[in-house]
Structure 1
Amino acid sequence: MLPKPVRMLLAPVLAAIAVLVTAPSVRACDIPAAVQTIDPPGYYDDASGYAEAVKPMRNFVSRLNTAAGKGDWSCALTLLDSWAQSDALMGHISGYQGYYERSWAGTDFAMVILHMPRGFRDENRARFAAIDPWLERIAIATRDAEAINHLHNNLVYWAGLNLIAIGTVTGNSSLFDSGLLRIREGIRDIEPDGALAREVKRGNRALHYHTFALIPLVFAAELARSRNIDLYRENDGAIGRLANLVIEAVDDPQSFTTITPIKQDLFPWTFRDELCWVEPYYARFRDSRLPALIAPRRPFDEWRLGGNVTAFWGAPLP
């Protein structure tokens, strides 16, 4: 046994070690069990059943995005590697909602990787040997999903962002180009007044879906710039027209009556985190109307886009 004076000197050190060993930080990268199949009921068909079914996948996404937000790239990579090794989310889908969920999740995974410092990605290139093919399988399943493709609405645009983001991460030009076709469909859908005819048909949710449709178009436009493609210019600046429609509606919801006379019902998140597109849009165009819209809402957090959008895309406000 050590002499008592030595034990007394070592006691604080041993206590500190004990705290470190049991601290939550060492458990911060606990990896949720892989979800093999994401196949919830439709959101509008069974809201409570939907919420329960997507919980395990959303829990994983939350841990991944939290790690990214903290800059804990080692944990983020470990989470992705684990699910890639299990070929997560690639099981059979019997309904339709699962195709949307898998597409959104794959977009999030790719966005997290795009936020990783280039040096970290280069140092860990070997670990992407499992992750990249898994992401490509998710993207191919999204590309080929008739449950999405026949809709020709905002979900097709989200599928386009999925393909562009994953194509960018993996260097797969075929996936990128398939995504570009879907995003350009969305850009062509924007009418001279900024409206989207298919989203107008959503009745009292039309404004919500205009906002939701704008998200993938803006983020795809940002990613496309890496290939010297300026989607903001296409269809006579159509993305800007849709953005203007939404900005005006945020400032004055009555302005949307020029698009439809139906009273609009918004989800609590419609004019909150689903306005996340304003971060890259303001950084790009410095629209003077946006700081007043952005400031009280920061930080914007969107689970489909890597979490804290403000941290990765935001620009200083005046």
Structure 2
Amino acid sequence: MAIVALSRFSFLAAGAVLLLGGSQASQAASLTLPFQLARHVAQNNGNRDCSAKLPTPVISLNLTSIYEDDDESRSTVDPENKDRYDKAIAQTREFAAFVTKYASNYTETDGNRLDAASCTLQALDSWARAGALSDLKTRQSYLSATRIVAGAALAYAQVRPAATLLSYDTSAIEKWLGGLAERTIPVYTESGDRNSNKQNHRYWGGFAVTAVGVAIGRKDFLDFGFESYKLGVCQVTADGALPLELMRKKKARDYHLHAAGPLVMMASLLQANGYDALSQCDNGLRRLVHFALDSINDPSLMEKLAGEPQVKLPRDNNGLIRPDRIAWLDAYLHYYPEDRNIYKKFFDGALFSSNLGGRISVLYNVSQRD
């Protein structure tokens, strides 16, 4: 059995010796998380039990596009298609929301909520042992599952310090996550020259594989992530635009924000492990983030480049953009703190996205923990 430290703030410093189980032990490398894990693992509430109802494992997904079939720009939603999609993926989304919520509860209390860690581990283990998401029937199912895999992997990384305290065997979880990542890679590498292999779908796939790699110690997964990341940021124009997302016409702004999320999170995970991500292609990521965020309140340049007025973005009652659309922003500001004064106007609380691993603000800002 191999001891693997996955954070620069070592799990050992957190008071937990974490053992890899299964066949991955021999392949595991010492990888690093870009954020500080729970700092007071030993000072917990002593509650080992999870009182929440665990989400039922979903084995099969059969998803199709939400857009009108004859819409080449994939920007006009077909209500019936969307309703069918939402119903089909609802239980899977509930799982992602569950594991990232409880993982975030554990992190936000700096390890006090041992019961929250137990909930996350039990849900992950339940889905792993059931072979969840093993029957993905369509390409769209694979593309959509990447967001679930990414969120689950980062949720697992957050609660691993609690596994030893709970005497929890995590080998099934690691085998399951590794298998999902392995099945994700050929979706993009063995399906020809298509746009979805070069635009936001590829970035989400790269992020999912990278997140699993960091969580279970698979550097080869990070290599795939780095190639996916470069494929994205090296397309960014001088204006900061992604040409393939501009092709989404009236939803170009929405898709630039959607594409920025996995690219920012990948950059963070990769940079922490020795990859030169942030400076790639003349700081392409920073140009993209500025362009996407600046378009929230002033879409004029986006509309000029996309050739159409942009659809409205979902906003909360306070008038701010819905937080999940920019949940990656606190990860970005971790590396570019000088931009905080410019973009702090877009949010007024902790940013959360189950697709990105939970409360990003709490992960990257320990001052927000209690």
TM-score range, shorter chain: 0.7 to 0.9
Describe the SS at the equivalent of 1:145. helix
Confirm or deny that 1:115 pairs with 2:158. Answer: yes
Q: Give the conservation status (yes or no) of the 8 Å contact 2:250–2:306.
A: no
Letter in 1 for 2:143: Y
TM-fit CA distance, 1:259? 2.4
- Taking only aligned residues, the RMSD between alpha carbons, in angstroms, comes to 2.4
Describe the SS at the equivalent of 2:361. helix
Structure 1 CA distance for aligned equivalents of residues 51 and 192 of structure 2: 35
Describe the SS at the equivalent of 2:134. coil
Structure-2 change in CA distance of 1:125 and 1:284 (3 Å): farther
Largest Rg, 1 or 2: 1
Residue of structure 2 equivalent to 1:292:
345
Confirm or deny that 1:254 pairs with 2:305. Answer: no
Residue of structure 1 equivalent to 2:18:
none
Structure 1 CA distance for aligned equivalents of residues 52 and 124 of structure 2: 11
Q: What is the correspondence of 1:256-275 to structure 2 with a 5 Å cutoff?
A: 256-268=302-314, 271-272=321-322, 273-275=324-326
Structure 1 CA distance for aligned equivalents of residues 166 and 277 of structure 2: 32
User: Percent identity, aligned pairs only?
Assistant: 24
Structure 2 CA distance for aligned equivalents of residues 176 and 121 of structure 1: 24
Describe the SS at the equivalent of 2:135. coil
Structure 1 CA distance for aligned equivalents of residues 58 and 278 of structure 2: 37
TM-fit CA distance, 1:252? 1.9
TM-fit CA distance, 1:65? 2.1
Q: Give the conservation status (yes or no) of the 8 Å contact 2:265–2:356.
A: no
Confirm or deny that 1:282 pairs with 2:333. Answer: yes
Between the two proteins, the alignment pairs up a number of residues equal to 289
Structure-2 change in CA distance of 1:315 and 1:200 (3 Å): farther
Gapped regions of structure 1 (runs ≥ 5): 1-24
Q: What is the correspondence of 1:64-103 to structure 2 with a 5 Å cutoff?
A: 64-71=99-106, 72-93=116-137, 95-103=138-146
Confirm or deny that 1:128 pairs with 2:179. Answer: no
Structure 2 CA distance for aligned equivalents of residues 61 and 184 of structure 1: 27
TM-fit CA distance, 1:300? 2.0
Q: With CA pairs under 8 Å and 6+ residues apart, which has the higher RCO, 1 or 2?
A: 2
Structure 2 CA distance for aligned equivalents of residues 260 and 36 of structure 1: 39
Q: What is the correspondence of 1:165-180 to structure 2 with a 5 Å cutoff?
A: 165-180=211-226
Structure-2 change in CA distance of 1:267 and 1:293 (3 Å): closer
Residue of structure 2 equivalent to 1:229:
275
Structure 2 CA distance for aligned equivalents of residues 131 and 248 of structure 1: 40
TM-fit CA distance, 1:101? 2.2
TM-fit CA distance, 1:41? 2.5
Q: Give the conservation status (yes or no) of the 8 Å contact 1:29–1:79.
A: no
Residue of structure 2 equivalent to 1:154:
200
Q: Give the conservation status (yes or no) of the 8 Å contact 2:233–2:285.
A: yes
Q: Which moved more, 1:245-254 or 1:74-83?
A: 245-254
Q: Which moved more, 1:177-186 or 1:302-311?
A: 302-311
Q: Give the conservation status (yes or no) of the 8 Å contact 1:282–1:315.
A: no
Letter in 2 for 1:114: A
Structure 2 CA distance for aligned equivalents of residues 125 and 195 of structure 1: 48
TM-fit CA distance, 1:148? 9.6
Describe the SS at the equivalent of 1:243. helix
Structure 1 CA distance for aligned equivalents of residues 206 and 234 of structure 2: 14
TM-fit CA distance, 1:194? 0.7
Letter in 2 for 1:70: N
Q: Which string of whole-angstrom CA distances, capped at 9 and with x for unpartnered residues, describes residues 276-307 of structure 1? A: 12111122211120222232xx2322121223
Q: Give the conservation status (yes or no) of the 8 Å contact 1:219–1:277.
A: yes
Residue of structure 2 equivalent to 1:207:
253
Describe the SS at the equivalent of 1:144. helix
TM-fit CA distance, 1:310? 2.2
Structure 2 CA distance for aligned equivalents of residues 222 and 148 of structure 1: 29
Q: TM-score, normalised by structure 1?
A: 0.83
Q: Which string of whole-angstrom CA distances, capped at 9 and with x for unpartnered residues, describes residues 73-92 of structure 1? A: 11100110111011100114
Q: Give the conservation status (yes or no) of the 8 Å contact 2:327–2:360.
A: yes
Structure-2 change in CA distance of 1:194 and 1:282 (3 Å): same
Structure-2 change in CA distance of 1:217 and 1:125 (3 Å): farther
Residue of structure 2 equivalent to 1:310:
361
Q: TM-score, normalised by structure 2?
A: 0.72
Residue of structure 2 equivalent to 1:54:
89
Structure 2 CA distance for aligned equivalents of residues 259 and 92 of structure 1: 36
